[in-house]
Amino acid sequence: MSKATRNPGPDELELISRLKAKLPVGDSVVVGAGDDCAVIDAGVPGRWQLHKTDAVVEGIHFTKDADPQQVGHKALGRALSDIAAMAGTPRWATITLGLPEGFDVETVESVYDGMSALAKRHGVSLVGGETVSNPDRLFIGVSLVGEVDQDKCILRRGATVGDGVWVTGELGGSIAGHHLEFTPRLAEARWLAAHYQPSAMIDLSDGLAGDLGHLLNEANTGAELLESALPIRREARLRAVESEAAKPPLLAALTDGEDYELCFTLGQGQAVALLDQFRQEFPGTPLGCIGKIVEPLGLKIRQKTGIMEIATRGHVHFQ
């Protein structure tokens, strides 16, 4: 089929929507497809299981010359970030490794060194997996199981009008290195659930605009963010200065993706106490309130010159 007549097919969200309709779901499933993790009632009193699968592909999520230990770190870290979004504790992981022809054994071992170091840091057992041939490029799939107290599990749904919108860390410019060396916010998420119980939470993998959009869709609300409050990463600002082709810093913070930070919503009246206590507990992790949930649908940015509407769409797969 020629490029001119080729049907591009559905994007990621459209494909997921079509596939979800075909999924059988049993009585033990508390939350199925559509959140950061599936939530399963496995019969343990007061506890739920969290199930997540994720993958990284050479040429898509990392370059061929990337440090293999960092590649391994990223492969596991992406799934850990999703467990964090539910305020859970990761436990067991299995790995599917797709290897190209003529692969280098030492490189593969280094990938596993990166995964193992991160797994040990967070008490995760790597309990097996599968190796297959993948002719063109390296592929790493991670299936991760975690646990969470039933009364501490935080979902994407739950935001209400008036809630503040919060983010950890900084946003944008992750391609400069952050996407390979980020820290999953597991401890921060569990602390938030224990002390403040956010009304909704998600991890920022596809960009703030798109991922916050999921929370807004679940709540059937909108959000108004303050441009001056957005924690834009220094690398995003530098790229805008160094290259005319680079995104403006604001757009980078909203749509670059691969930040692997937490975005959550929280009721009014708790900001001062949260900031003081969080800074004492996690002095190395920035935290800020960047806006609020509002009744009119859509995402808006309040700037010095007025209000700008932003599409709730971040990184798009399958384009």
Torsion of Cα atoms, 9 then 78 then 32 then 30, to 10°: -170
Q: What is the DSSP string of 126-156?
A: EEEEEEEE-SSS-EEEEEEEEEEETTT---S
164-310 to CATH, choices 3.40.50.300, 2.60.40.10, 3.90.650.10, 3.40.50.150: 3.90.650.10
Indicate the pTM of the whole model. 0.92
187 contact partners, CB below 8 Å, separation of at least 6: 282
**Which segments of the chain belong to CATH 3.30.1330.10?**
27-149
**Which segments of the chain belong to CATH 3.90.650.10?**
164-310
Q: Residue 122, SS3?
A: coil
The phi and psi torsions of 150 (rounded to 5 degrees) equal: -60, -40
The region that residue 129 occupies, defined by phi over 0 for left and psi between -120 and 50 for alpha, beta otherwise, is left
CATH for the stretch 27-149: 3.30.1330.10
What is the pLDDT tens value at each position of the chain, 319 positions in all? 333 344 555 666 677 778 777 787 789 999 998 899 999 999 999 999 999 999 999 999 999 999 999 999 999 999 999 999 999 999 999 999 999 999 999 999 999 999 999 999 999 999 999 999 998 899 999 999 999 999 999 999 999 999 999 999 999 999 999 999 999 999 999 999 999 999 999 999 999 999 999 999 999 999 999 999 999 999 999 999 988 888 999 999 999 999 999 999 999 899 999 999 999 999 999 999 999 999 999 999 999 999 999 988 655 443 4
